């Protein structure tokens, strides 16, 4: 007579499954899952082509969301929304009082301490698309400072990229002309000194290098991307590194295996000694499949290349990157099924085998041109991802997804091994008991590590 065994597993939190069983097939797959979306934010206006989520920044419990297509002050004048984590109602909307048509205020955002910094590269104080940057205070809605380059000019795109630390604001103007050559520039400003300005240009700058298309700052270092530089061929790209305390220091980095149209430096991010550089035009796993390079600024021999394990042509992996104390987040514009639907990959600085992937998980699935990953930011236990053209009823107004960033495993069980399952939980951060009924003959062993690092094993035999 066949016996039926009832297994009850009592744990508060499963964070890692370390072993399955001594009979193959019981647990088919172990897959990373961030858990359910905490919530999804949509603009209250949901205006067509608002591009809500086109840029993102986080500051403790605040999410700063750019909506560069908002038309409150003119067509595509742009705006920025401020939300609190765990609250899908915005606390403040910021629009430029002097907004202009196609100013695209909110194309870039940054935040540090009490400040919100917003780029408007289409502003026209010095001519069409000369650009500007606005500074606001979180605790003082009356405060506003507008920054323009002292040598501003038309089509400079000042504010096309932004970065900030406690003292400095770094602003990219990738089409600024220097000595009559539109090679690009970067400008530095201070919060506590409205008169301070430092301009940085590449010592070997040439026409259309796009120097300043991406910028980053951390500690004493500033990194500048010039994705159209041609040292390894047309638009192969390069990255320059500068120091805040040494105006003479310049280091130029090019890919060791760089090739034309790689666009090395299209995106970049700094944390501690690590410099992470996006190369969306790299062709290692197909045309424009993309890659990411990691460097250590204290060790010029260190180089690590990251490609998506499922990478293929036209994914543009590396269009956006951010790095924090543990993780590297990488945006890929498309995937194998949907055009410009977007994905975000997660890697670790100290574990080169680690790779996880986030995609939009709406009930209606991913859509072409949602642009999931048009922006990404992280802070503490949260990660936020912008989808600048996500929208209902073809509005394409944009949305922002908020996730609880907790590491864990999704467990897919082979139903063929079981008569029935009373409760199967797909995710993490949940309480058990979980009841499973096993009826097929065999020897079974389940090993689980709890959130205290202790191992729990359950073994039984069905004859």
What is the pLDDT at residue 151?
Answer: 95
**Alpha carbons 22 and 207: distance in angstroms, whole number:** 64
- Pairwise pLDDT comparison (301 vs 338), residue with the higher score: 301
Residues 97 and 161 placed together within one structural domain of the fold: yes
- Of 52-56, 117-121, 282-286, 406-410, where does the model show the most confidence? 117-121
Residue range 165-181: average pLDDT?
Answer: 94
- Pairwise pLDDT comparison (50 vs 241), residue with the higher score: 241
Residue 416 lies in domain? 5-33+411-462
Q: Residue 42: how many CA atoms within 13 Å on its side-chain side?
A: 13
Residues 169 and 247 placed together within one structural domain of the fold: yes
What is the pLDDT at residue 442?
Answer: 59
Residues 26 and 133 placed together within one structural domain of the fold: no
Residues 184 and 303 placed together within one structural domain of the fold: yes
Contact 288, 316 (CB under 8 A): yes
Residue range 438-443: average pLDDT?
Answer: 54
Query: What is the CATH number for 300?
Result: 2.130.10.130
Contact 58, 429 (CB under 8 A): no
**Alpha carbons 425 and 186: distance in angstroms, whole number:** 50
What is the pLDDT at residue 17?
Answer: 33
Give the end of a domain, one of 363, 382, 407.
Answer: 407
Residues 117 and 179 placed together within one structural domain of the fold: yes
Residues 319 and 430 placed together within one structural domain of the fold: no
End-to-end CA distance of the chain: 9
Dmax over CA atoms of the chain, in Å, equals: 91
Residues 432 and 343 placed together within one structural domain of the fold: no
What's the pLDDT band for 43 if we cut at 50, 70, 90? confident
User: How many Cβ atoms from other residues are within 10 Å of residue 24's Cβ?
Assistant: 11
pLDDT, tens digit, for every residue of 121-165?
A: 999 999 999 999 999 999 999 999 999 999 999 999 999 999 999
What is the pLDDT at residue 451?
Answer: 45
Residues 213 and 284 placed together within one structural domain of the fold: yes
Residues 210 and 90 placed together within one structural domain of the fold: yes
**Alpha carbons 110 and 170: distance in angstroms, whole number:** 10
What is the pLDDT at residue 77?
Answer: 96
What's the pLDDT band for 8 if we cut at 50, 70, 90? very low
User: How many Cβ atoms from other residues are within 10 Å of residue 440's Cβ?
Assistant: 13
202 vs 8, 131, 206, 238, 313, CA distance in Å?
65, 20, 9, 11, 32
Residue whose C-alpha is closest to residue 52's, from 401, 428, 460, 434: 401
Contact 326, 284 (CB under 8 A): no
What is the pLDDT at residue 37?
Answer: 61
Give the end of a domain, one of 407, 425, 441.
Answer: 407
Residue 365 clears pLDDT 60, i.e. is over it: no
Chain Cα centroid distance, residue 175:
24
Domain count, the chain: 2
- Pairwise pLDDT comparison (447 vs 281), residue with the higher score: 281
Residue range 43-68: average pLDDT?
Answer: 89
Residues 193 and 319 placed together within one structural domain of the fold: yes
Residues 367 and 437 placed together within one structural domain of the fold: no
Give the end of a domain, one of 392, 407, 422.
Answer: 407
**Alpha carbons 352 and 451: distance in angstroms, whole number:** 23
Residues 102 and 196 placed together within one structural domain of the fold: yes
What's the pLDDT band for 438 if we cut at 50, 70, 90? very low
């Amino acid at each position: 007579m066949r016996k039926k065994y009832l297994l009850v597993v009592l744990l508060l939190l499963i964070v890692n499954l370390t072993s399955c069983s001594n009979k193959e097939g019981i647990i088919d797959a172990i897959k990373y899952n961030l858990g359910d979306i905490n919530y999804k934010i949509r603009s209250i206006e949901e205006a067509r082509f608002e591009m809500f989520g086109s840029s993102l920044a986080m500051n403790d419990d605040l999410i700063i969301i750019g909506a560069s297509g908002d038309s409150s002050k003119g067509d595509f004048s742009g705006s920025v929304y401020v939300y609190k984590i765990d609250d899908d109602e915005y606390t403040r909307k910021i629009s430029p009082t002097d907004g202009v048509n196609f100013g695209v205020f909110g194309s870039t955002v940054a935040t540090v301490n009490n400040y919100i910094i917003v780029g408007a590269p289409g502003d026209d104080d010095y001519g069409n698309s000369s650009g500007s940057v606005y500074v606001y205070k979180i605790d003082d809605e009356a405060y506003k400072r507008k920054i323009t380059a002292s040598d501003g000019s038309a089509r400079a795109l000042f504010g096309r990229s932004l970065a900030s630390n406690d003292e400095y604001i770094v602003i990219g103007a990738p089409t600024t002309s220097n000595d009559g050559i539109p090679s690009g520039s970067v400008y530095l400003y201070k919060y506590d000194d409205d008169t301070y300005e430092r301009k940085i240009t590449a010592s070997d700058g040439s026409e259309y290098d796009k120097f300043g298309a991406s910028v980053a700052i951390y500690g004493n270092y500033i990194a500048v991307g010039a994705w159209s530089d041609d040292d390894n061929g047309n638009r192969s790209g390069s990255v320059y590194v500068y120091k805040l305390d040494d105006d003479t220091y310049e280091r130029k980095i090019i890919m060791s295996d760089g090739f034309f149209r790689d666009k090395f430096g299209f995106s970049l991010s700094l944390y501690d000694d690590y410099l992470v550089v996006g190369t969306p035009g790299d062709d290692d796993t197909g045309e424009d499949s993309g890659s990411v390079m990691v460097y250590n600024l204290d060790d010029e021999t260190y180089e690590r290349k990251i490609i998506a394990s499922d990478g293929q042509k036209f994914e543009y992996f590396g269009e956006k990157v951010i790095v924090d104390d543990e993780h590297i987040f990488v945006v890929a514009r498309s995937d194998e099924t949907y055009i410009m639907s977007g994905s975000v990959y997660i890697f670790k600085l100290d574990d080169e085998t680690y790779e996880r992937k986030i995609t939009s998980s709406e009930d209606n699935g991913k859509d072409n041109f949602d642009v999931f990953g048009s922006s990404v930011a992280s802070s503490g236990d949260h990660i936020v991802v912008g989808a600048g053209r996500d929208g209902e009823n073809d509005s394409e107004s944009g949305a922002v997804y908020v996730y609880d960033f907790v590491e864990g495993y999704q467990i897919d069980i082979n139903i063929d091994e079981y008569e029935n399952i009373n409760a199967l939980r797909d995710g993490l951060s949940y309480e058990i008991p979980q009841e499973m009924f096993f009826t097929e003959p065999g020897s079974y062993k389940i090993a689980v590590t709890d959130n205290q690092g202790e191992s729990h094993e359950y073994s039984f035999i069905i004859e």
